[in-house]
Structure 1
């Protein structure tokens, strides 16, 4: 850049000298200034850069300054300064402007993206044309193709003059094929096979998946990462002296094949002889030693040493030492092939957070973000609380991104400020849609949902959802911070209509009845810790049921022995939730537990209680694989001599419980007295278990929207007088895929029952799309 600037300045000076020699005149007083040759540039721009004005004495020195100043604008390619009597005449020739930019032959990079890249280096439609910048753009585009392994790519930039002093630019591109890695050879390995070592590499030779993930195309960045992975592999196996001696990358003459050679020295295997602590230990030494997961005699493992340093550093950060430094210093004994580590601790100065600033929230109120903070102002810095604060803000789902920074307060060495930078996203939605479910048929929906109503963080939702047998209307309002301590309060109003006869006509055999339910409720929630949450509420429910001639005898007896089939009840509900999942949509690790119970108050038509428990465990298995174990149990019973209301029964089977069986088809069955067919009637006890391995979907890079799984399901429903036995238990296995589409969640399942009986309703292919209730 310095050479180019010097050359430009020299050109300006030489030009000025030439013009001065050709047009040197005696000094005169400028009576007027005339600018000629302008097409796009305003005359005022020229006057602003001239170092003289009317009334000044014109000289050769000022003429040279004027030429230099006007050249520095970059607008002109030729400048002449002359005089017409006592009138100063400035004649300029403007550089052409870029009228249009076209590309041909570009397949790997979209045209709009390439134009954005050119704009960064000053080439865009409407800008001044500069040949030097065009040459630079040509080389930059070619470099981008080289980074993709297309070494035979050719890029040619052609500029064509147009009328009105304009030019068009066309980049003619011949991409050519991407060079393939034909061999990765590792020289010097005796302890591990080349295949085992290459398994740690991102780069590989062509395979059946390479056409998709491009892992057979050479990239310098990927090779650097692979070499570090190779180093880590040996270091974690105990080979402290491992070294990569050299790396050679060669390309075939036709630029189609790449060969990589890596020369290594494995060295000897080392054991850890001793670990100790040194430095300023502000915490008890015994507590710090517990953070070092290394025993004397263990094989050296670099990752464990790094983790130990991080654990100590994090622990100090929790106690206010934001700038602590823990350095693991090795003492190597090459004769005995052992290494001792001394963890030197420099806690630095204890600091506290002076002020918390929130920025980027144009709609959400500051208080909505601040109430999620676990790090407080004027409190000691706590690394764990800062991390948890970020997690809580992210879980609001109001922001696209959340960034936390803790810059030092200028001039003060024991204080930091915390800056919370958020990027807001649209949270409200008005949806009109339709869905399709293999069990529920066509689902129509209208949903107005605003989880951040007027920027207050309060949630308002209105839903109207209909299926072939189930219609729900609901309105809810939730204030998550009804009190400053985080106690929430919500109100619900609903109506639910169920017509199981329509469900029979589609795919299911269940006991037929029609019901209408109206209800209004109020609920409260209380956080007990960062992971635990208690809830309680009360609901007034009014339900009327209509039976038919083919309704089960149990249903008819309930209406005979109860206060008819119209019932009013006041239901108290309570629940406990423990949620440590790292992500609500697609969790990778953590636990979810739910315990809930309903009990109707005595004195009204219904007297029953109903309890449910769920425990889901998620374990990260590496490489985007997640193992889930899920168990669910439910129990219900009436009291006070009343019959248990059949419309409160448990059901199982379907895409959300035991896949491979029709929805709500498991458990006790009865016979239709008219048709003679049997159907499921539900029960008062329910057991469901799932083992599922989640993995990325092949050929799909958007892992946050797609997930594939393989599963084994089991479960059953038991009647009030039935003991829990294997007769009602069913098992299935299969694969499924979940897609969070713009139109709603899609679940597609291919399942096969492992245990079934003659009258079971099975279904191999099941799906659910857009259902919201």
Structure 2
């Protein structure tokens, strides 16, 4: 055999003249030529033969098909030199870079990701046949933003080492906006009323931000479903969208949309009954029927009824139950009767409870909140309850749960909790210097999920001459496996206004305490605590009279030991951004007769969250506090309550509200306090991100001295708006408040913020 005998084309097409055919022979060696970026081993991996095998035209054809199919090579040749087979390849170039010129609507990373999804990316093999597909994919992105006049041209520049650079030149053109939306066939409702129900609209004051005047097929489909729901919820059972027509002007600037509908007639419900396998749960299932005879048909109410039926069946282990409503329409009487057929399916059990997304938080921290047990039958209510308990931990931005069936096992499923972790630590550090206060250092650090264990630990240090604080607090929510929590607090706080000539007195309190929480149900906890505290008050000749009176009664140093009990009820769906549920706390604290002080304090708080829609939430909060001394002694000054600022009544300076003040106009606090808040929360326009929410509020409250009963006439009210943000350093709330009935001596404060928890 000679070197130039060529077998490649013969094997590839199987149609070459017989003179080019190769007689079968045993391969003594295989040599690869032409590789630059790929390894020779890559070529060998696609060959259907090895050294020592017999070579034939059929095997040669299979080798060429395999190498072409790999996608790495644009030319492949097989040559024979004696008993050596030479494989010569010409590699496709690699993409060295992808660049975009003229792109303003999208970031380059967004465009590259879209191309990567269709197989075009840097370092991948270049295939010129993919360029048309790449341009179409980029155009699809721009069309989704209403840019129908976009033009894209592509330049491919060869580079050294068999590489190419791809540049997409993009002329985005103008945004096409909706010029007109016309609904044909509406009789029961005016076209203007129907247009208010849908998202797509013509240009207006805020459409530059919401983009509602930009057409997309997905938006129109969603709006047609909205129209359908609007009619179905008002009795029009046979409503139908007959056709939709979308046209664009030749200059690709204006879009016209025409929707043709048929309303049908309005129906009332004549009867509702259950059928199928009810598993002896008829009474319970009938209570779930929200749709009632005699009422106008409402599609949403019917769907809610079916959903509740499936939820009830799911609570008994029938996770895949199916309830369907069969209508019996009487057009002459304009009535419809429904038979809801229930098919519970097979009772299913939970194979595994899986946790995902918790890179830092330990599995056991999440798993111990789950009320659905492995091996037990599926309980939908317990799964939903578990999701809420995990969310109330406050460690996660998002908690999702799904229950996929186990392949090949019709009576098994898994319960998967997928979480998205958030930063649970807060660090604040500050420093300052003044001629009077000298060096001031402030620092606080708290971690609500210490090392992923679910424990919380916080330190606080403040070295200011006026306010000095050293405090440590720790809580273990699962001190025992039964869920008994344990915590302790150690602190020393000094208030010394005399150092800056603000007052001739000093108050220093040092204490320590411990507490235990006992869960009595999934939603209720009783907390017992014991605390010991010593307070030293130093007064001078110019001290306020109330501090002198206190020292005369108790002396410069007084101590107290208290025991406390609190009941907490929490059914909120989230500890950070709740949208539904309640939170209640009632507590009572009283001194023990072993030390100097004699007083008690009681507090009651109630929060209520109600979702008004998928995006809007109404939140209400109310709190009443009361303290009183006994045994012939008054309530200590340092146990008074204060109001004003975020957490009580916004629009007033923190701690400034009271019905009595000292000679300098400062609040003396009160032995009792009452305040309430109402908030209407909603997401930023155009988003559904629950970590950032806007709100409007109405606050009211005040404090009252010992012996004075709270009265409505003495309450202060304020209103305003703000924003709450689950920031990386903790929950942040900003508000702008305006007092509604401020008195001349009240101290107002327009802008306020709070970093940390609070209503």
The TM-score with structure 2 as length reference comes to 0.91
Q: Distance in 2 between matches of 1:737 and 1:245?
A: 44
The one of 169, 180, 184 equivalent to 2:166 is 169
The residue that corresponds to 1:756 in the other structure is: 742
Given that 2:558 and 2:596 are in contact with CA atoms closer than 8 Å, whether structure 1 keeps it comes out as yes
Q: Note the 1:223-242 alignment, pairs <5 A.
A: 223-242=220-239
Cα gap change, 1:360/1:631 in structure 2, threshold over 3 Å: closer, same or farther?
closer
Q: Note the 1:68-467 alignment, pairs <5 A.
A: 68-358=65-355, 361=358, 363-399=360-396, 401-408=398-405, 413=410, 415-423=411-419, 425=421, 429=425, 431-434=427-430, 445-464=442-461
TM-superposed CA distance for 1:522, in Å, is: 0.9
The residue that corresponds to 1:3 in the other structure is: none
Q: Distance in 1 between matches of 2:257 and 2:18?
A: 62
Q: Deviations over 1:10-29 (max 9, x none)?
A: x9888545777684455555
SS in 2 for 1:332: strand
The residue that corresponds to 1:529 in the other structure is: 521
The residue that corresponds to 2:625 in the other structure is: 634
TM-superposed CA distance for 1:747, in Å, is: 3.7
Q: Which has the higher mean CA deviation after the structures are superposed, 451-460 or 643-652?
A: 451-460
The residue that corresponds to 2:4 in the other structure is: none
Structure 1: unaligned runs, 5 residues or longer? 1-10, 437-441, 506-510
Q: Distance in 2 between matches of 1:426 and 1:753?
A: 35
The residue that corresponds to 2:666 in the other structure is: 679
Q: Which has the higher mean CA deviation after the structures are superposed, 288-297 or 102-111?
A: 288-297
The residue that corresponds to 2:634 in the other structure is: 643
TM-superposed CA distance for 1:130, in Å, is: 0.6
The residue that corresponds to 1:580 in the other structure is: 571
Q: Distance in 2 between matches of 1:609 and 1:12?
A: 100
Cα gap change, 1:350/1:706 in structure 2, threshold over 3 Å: closer, same or farther?
closer
The one of 603, 612, 617 equivalent to 2:608 is 617
The one of 469, 472, 476 equivalent to 2:473 is 476
Q: Which has the higher mean CA deviation after the structures are superposed, 714-723 or 602-611?
A: 714-723
Q: Distance in 2 between matches of 1:360 and 1:744?
A: 20
SS in 2 for 1:283: coil
TM-superposed CA distance for 1:195, in Å, is: 1.2
Q: Distance in 1 between matches of 2:415 and 2:668?
A: 58
Cα gap change, 1:170/1:381 in structure 2, threshold over 3 Å: closer, same or farther?
same
TM-superposed CA distance for 1:349, in Å, is: 2.9
SS in 2 for 1:613: strand
Cα gap change, 1:257/1:444 in structure 2, threshold over 3 Å: closer, same or farther?
farther
TM-superposed CA distance for 1:129, in Å, is: 0.9
Q: Deviations over 1:399-424 (max 9, x none)?
A: 555444434456654x4243434456
Matched, 1:663 2:654: yes
Q: Deviations over 1:481-529 (max 9, x none)?
A: 2223211111221222223568996xxxxx8742221111110111222
Structure 2: unaligned runs, 5 residues or longer? 1-7, 433-438
Q: Distance in 2 between matches of 1:580 and 1:695?
A: 21
Q: Distance in 2 between matches of 1:130 and 1:629?
A: 61
The one of 697, 713, 720 equivalent to 2:706 is 720
TM-superposed CA distance for 1:176, in Å, is: 0.9
TM-superposed CA distance for 1:638, in Å, is: 0.8
Given that 1:400 and 1:422 are in contact with CA atoms closer than 8 Å, whether structure 2 keeps it comes out as no
The residue that corresponds to 1:508 in the other structure is: none
Q: Distance in 2 between matches of 1:290 and 1:52?
A: 73
Q: Deviations over 1:264-320 (max 9, x none)?
A: 111111111111111122234333222112222111111111111111111121122
The TM-score with structure 1 as length reference comes to 0.90
Given that 1:717 and 1:728 are in contact with CA atoms closer than 8 Å, whether structure 2 keeps it comes out as no
TM-superposed CA distance for 1:57, in Å, is: 4.7
Matched, 1:497 2:494: yes
TM-superposed CA distance for 1:231, in Å, is: 0.7
The residue that corresponds to 1:767 in the other structure is: 752
Q: Which has the higher mean CA deviation after the structures are superposed, 77-86 or 218-227?
A: 77-86
Q: Distance in 2 between matches of 1:504 and 1:532?
A: 49
Cα gap change, 1:195/1:501 in structure 2, threshold over 3 Å: closer, same or farther?
farther
Cα gap change, 1:89/1:712 in structure 2, threshold over 3 Å: closer, same or farther?
closer
SS in 1 for 2:666: strand
Q: Distance in 2 between matches of 1:144 and 1:157?
A: 16
- CA RMSD after TM alignment: 2.9
The residue that corresponds to 2:40 in the other structure is: 43
